[in-house]
Amino acid sequence: MATPDVAPATGFTGSGTNRPAKAPVKPVSRKTKKPSATPVIILTVVAAIGIHVLFCLMLANLADSVRWHPFGVDSDVRFGEAQFFVNPILSFLPFDILFGFAIATFIGFIIRLPFFRDRVHHTVLDIKKRLMLQLSASTEEVESILRNDPENNARLLARRDDINLDSIQAEIQAINSAQAYLAGKGSWTSGMNTYMRFHFTEEYSNRVTGLAYGGAAFLIFVVGIRGLKFIPATKPSFILFALGIEFSMLVLLATTMIFTEEEERTDRILKQMVDAVKGGKKQALIEPEPEPQLQLTRGDYERIVREQMDKKILEVMSDKDDDALRRIALDLVQKG
């Protein structure tokens, strides 16, 4: 007896045409990797070296004579009859880092490095979320407002009394400017302004202020040590280092203050966001104004008195009180 042929397990189906079995599809990870800060660090180091060379050249031109030690680590400087022993690396280090980082930042925004583009992109997303809370709107509605004409937005938003129109318009303009920068069409200053105003100053303002106070405390400490003669007058490198730190912190504080929004505007935005979280816009409870008092004339008073007298007479007559009727009659006779 012939045995039936058994089809080998080849992954094909037995109906109609042979089709290969579909392999399970693995989910594709869409996590975006944050841009590296290495290009920014390299630019900062290169710019800092250039700034350090410029400071050394400036020192050589200002002094009467300078004798450099090997590799420029130390130098003997003479100003007239005064002799100083200067360590350029220690003296100029804070200035080198400050100006080097500033140059790297400007270049990074100008050539649109991915590191700075990523910062601007996330700032735009944060502002959009803020608009959603302030306007109690969805993502699609916010995108529609951003695409709308500014004059139409002004007319539509002016009807709402639960928002601050100026702050909303400033945020819309900042988003549009930043998106133009990300698209390669806008100016580099628009991207930097948006990042500084709506991210850096809000996230790091307190830290910068604390660093400025810390730099001032360090400078006072160093000057006090110098006053106690622990630092010789012929070796001013450490004093210059402390001055450089405080100068850098004050420049950073000034930059932060320039881009900081007004406190009143920030307070209004926070209140609007809290109101939106609690349940959308809420109409303010307005206490009803008291009704104006009636202005009665002399004739009105006489009419009211007569009506009260007539009412009293009717009550007495309805009670059939003879004594009361007699008193009323006597009063009328006497007055008549």
Asked if 51 and 99 touch (Cβ cutoff 8 Å), the reply is yes
Proportion of the chain in helix, strand, coil states, percent, rounded to 5:
65, 5, 30
Q: What angle do CA 211, 216, 221 make, to 5 degrees?
A: 125
Digitized pLDDT (tens) for each residue of the chain, 336 residues in all? 444 444 444 444 444 445 555 555 444 444 557 888 999 999 999 999 999 999 999 998 999 999 988 877 889 999 888 899 999 999 999 999 999 999 999 999 999 999 999 999 999 999 999 999 988 889 998 999 898 888 888 888 888 877 888 888 889 999 999 999 999 988 999 999 999 999 999 899 999 999 999 999 999 999 999 888 888 889 999 999 999 999 999 999 999 999 987 654 555 555 555 555 555 444 444 444 554 444 556 566 566 766 776 676 666 566 655 666 667 666 655 655
Residue 296 burial (CB < 10 Å; 0-12/13-18/19+)?
A: exposed
Spatial separation of the C-alpha atoms in residues 269 and 174, rounded to whole Å: 16
pTM: 0.67
What does residue 87 show for φ and ψ, rounded to 5 degrees? -105, 100
| Structure token digits, residue 291 | 């009704």
